[in-house]
Amino acid sequence: MPDFLSWCQWLESTPMSATLRDSLWLFPAIETVHLFGIVALVGSTSILDLRLMGFTLAGTPVPKLARRVLPWAWLGFGIQAATGFFLFAAEASRVYLNPAFRFKMLMLVAAGLNALLFHVMTSRSAAQWEGRSTTPMSAKIAGLSSLALWFAIVIAGRMIAYFE
Amino acid sequence: MRLVLLIFSFCDWLQRTPVASYMRASFWAFPLVESLHILCGNVPLLVATSILSARLAGWGLREVPVSKLARGLLPWAWTGFLIQVITGLLLFSSAAAKYASTRIFPLKMLLILLAGTNALIFMRTTYRRVAAWDTAEVPPLGARFAGVVSLLLWSSVLVMGRVLNSAVSLVVAAHLWFAR
């Protein structure tokens, strides 16, 4: 087990982290970009999730929608990872010990696994999906899990500010 | 002057309501409502208006007729907006006078009003004749203008929301610091 806590202490002692803490506007500015990242990431994945669950866009084939939506999801994820790192760096050891942060990271891993599992499961049968408006039960479950996980991730993210 | 008094007496009444006390007293209420403000409000509103704006500006989804896209997206924008208003009012109620006394709050409300006016003018003018340019890859100037303005205004509203949160947190932090 690597010593994450001492790495966190080193990280928050860097001049970069000190700048993040000392500036009045830098932290809220990065938080704002993080918020735009949520809109891109959660917005694009939710469109796909709702389609998988059969709630919307029945006329658009799932693979076509996925091709349109996933670049935005990845863009959003990139923004989230980059801005999230800076937000973390400002108070690394406090955040590392924060229960909401730990829950968030766990849910992030679960969301990643859910997406990976669904991708592996469906990529083989993608040809059969083309032109079909209804989705199989596995797709409905994957969509619902993804939606629930991203909601949990955003709520947990907000809770980091409220837990000591 | 009378208007200012009216607004602050409303704020005073609002923050004394049981709902407002609950928003302050509960550990979970404020962050949960805040999360819903983002998840069920910001996300659908900003995603729906941005997609439509991009189509109006001629940046994307050029093969989709504008009216078809609008019919699909506007219910999501309205639902998002409604959730924003309800959750926003709950957040506001927790410290109404404090929010109202910041410079950011009136600015945010003004930006929302402008975004609404922009949409209304667009719907009453250029969109009336949508049949003539529904499938045009690049819509007419009026539509492109409305699209870009909408994108800028709703993005600014999001930024103002974040700044408002920081501004009030700073005020509260200062109060706590002086009260030590």
What confidence category does residue B3 fall into, taking pLDDT thresholds of 50, 70 and 90? Answer: confident
Q: What is the pLDDT of residue B42?
A: 93
Q: How far does A163 lie from chain B, in Å, by closest CA?
A: 10
Chain A contact present for B138, CB below 8 A: no
Task: List, for residues A104-124, the tens digit of each pLDDT value.
Answer: 999 999 999 999 998 887 766
pLDDT in tens, B105-142: 999 999 999 999 999 999 999 999 999 999 999 999 99
The yes-or-no verdict on residue B179 having pLDDT over 70 is no
Closest CB from B30, B38, B72 relative to A38:
B38
Distance CA B85, CA B67 (A): 26
Chain centroid, CA B12 distance in Å: 23
* DSSP collapsed to 3 states, chain B: CHHHHHHHHHHHHHHHCHHHHHHHHCCCHHHHHHHHHHHHHHHHHHHHHHHHHHHHHCCCCCCCCHHHHHHHHHHHHHHHHHHHHHHHHHHHHHCHHHHHCCCHHHHHHHHHHHHHHHHHHHHHCHHHHHHHHCCCCCCCHHHHHHHHHHHHHHHHHHHHHHHHHHHHHHHHHHHHHHCC
What is residue A63's predicted lDDT score, i.e. its pLDDT?
A: 85
Q: Per-domain residue ranges for chain B? A: 2-178
Q: How does pLDDT run across A42-70, given as a tens digit for each residue?
A: 999 999 999 999 898 888 888 889 999 99
Q: What angle do CA A71, A76, A77 make, to 5 degrees?
A: 95
Contact present, A43 and A1 (Cβ < 8 Å): no
Note whether A67 contacts B: Cβ–Cβ < 8 A. Answer: no
Residue type, B15: Q
**pLDDT (tens digit per residue) in B52-86:** 999 999 998 999 999 999 999 999 999 999 999 99
> How crowded is residue B70: how many other Cβ atoms within 10 Å of its Cβ?
18
CA distance A122 to chain B (A): 26
Give CA–CA dist B80/B84, Å, rounded.
6
Report pLDDT for A164: 75
Most B-contacting residue of A45, A87, A147, A158 (CB-CB within 10 A), to test interface: A158
For the stretch A154-164, pLDDT in tens is 999 999 999 87
For residue A135, is pLDDT > 90?
A: no
Q: What is the pLDDT of residue A134?
A: 77
CA distance B151 to B143: 12
Segment (H or E) for A72: helix A62-90
pLDDT tens for A8-20 read 999 999 999 999 9
User: Residue B148: which of B25, B50, B45, B3 has the closest Cα?
Assistant: B50
Sketch the domain layout of chain A as residue ranges.
Answer: 4-159
Give the type of residue at B4.
V
**Helix, strand, coil abundance in chain A, percent, nearest 5:** 80, 0, 20
Q: What is the DSSP letter of A131?
A: T
pLDDT at residue B43 in the model:
95
Closest CB to B158: pick one of A35, A151, A154: A35
Rg (CA), chain B: 19
Arithmetic mean of pLDDT, A124-141: 74
Rounded to the nearest integer, the mean pLDDT of chain A is 90
Q: How far is A42 from chain B (nearest CA, A)?
A: 7
